[in-house]
Amino acid sequence: MGQLDGKVALVTGGAKGIGRAIADGLAAEGARLVIVDLEGADEAAAAYDGGVGITADVADEGSVERMAREAIERAGGVDVLVNNAGLYATLALRPFEQIPLDEWRRVMDVNVASMFLTCRALVPHMRERGGGRIVNISSGTPFRGVPFLLHYVTSKGAIVALTRALAKEVGGDGILVNCVAPGFTISDGVRQNPEHIEKLKDASIAARVIKRDQLPEDVVAAVVFLASPGSSFVTGQTMVIDGGQYLH
C-alpha cells in the first residue's frame, strides 16, 4: 500500500527534469499521474499505469481551463496539484537593466500567473471532493538574493507569497497549500545551458553543507511528504531543499 493509493496527482511541466522525477515519486506511492506539458506529455504519461498526458500552455487561461476539464474527465478527478512548470534554464544571466520587458513579463506569466490559473481552475473541484493538496515549486534564489536573474528570482519569491496567502484562503476547505524551493539543480534543461553550469554549479556546491551536485531526485521526497497524509497539519510552508546552502 502506497501513501497515495487512490489519489490522482497532476504535475505541470511533468514530462522531464524535476517534474518528471516528482511524477515518478508520486507514482511510486500509488498515485495515478496526469502529466501536463508543452511537449512530451503523452509519452511521459505512458510510463505510468493509467497515466494521462495533456498538452497545455499553463500560462494561457483558455489552455488551463481545458486542461482542468480534461484531467477531471479522463482521470476522474484531481487530489494533488504540483505546480512545477516554469522558465529558468533558457534564461541568460545578465544585469537587470538589460532584461527586456517582454522577457520579464513572459517569466512572470509562466512562473507565477500559471500557478494562479491552475489553482483557480482546480480549487473548486477540490472543494467538491472535500479537500486536496497543492505543492508549488519555487526556488532557493529569493532567500539568497541571487543576482543577474532578477525576473526569475522575483517570480520565485512571488510563489512563496502566493503559497502563504492561498493557504489562508482555502485552508477551511481542507485544501493544504505548500511550497518546495530547490537549490541549483542539475536538471535536463540546466545541462543544456553551459552558461548556468559554468557560472553557478561550482559556486553552489561550495556554499552548501552537503558538497555535491543537487539532482532532481533530491526534491522528490519533500513533494511526496506534502502530498501525503503525514503532512495533514502542514500548510502555508516553504521547504528549502538545497543541501544546506540556505538555513532558516
Q: Report the catalytic residues.
A: 152
Helix axis angle, 150-170 to 101-108, nearest 10°: 30
Cell numbers at 152, concatenated: 526569475
Q: Is 175 helix (H, G, I), strand (E, B) or coil?
A: strand
123-to-16, 133, 236 alpha-carbon distances in Å:
25, 10, 16
Residue (of 166, 159, 162) closest to 142 by Cα position: 159
d(CA 66, CA 12): 14
Q: DSSP letter at 56?
A: -
Residue (of 201, 189, 160, 155) closest to 177 by Cα position: 160
DSSP of 70-83: HHHHHHS--SEEEE
Residue (of 189, 137, 133, 132) closest to 158 by Cα position: 137
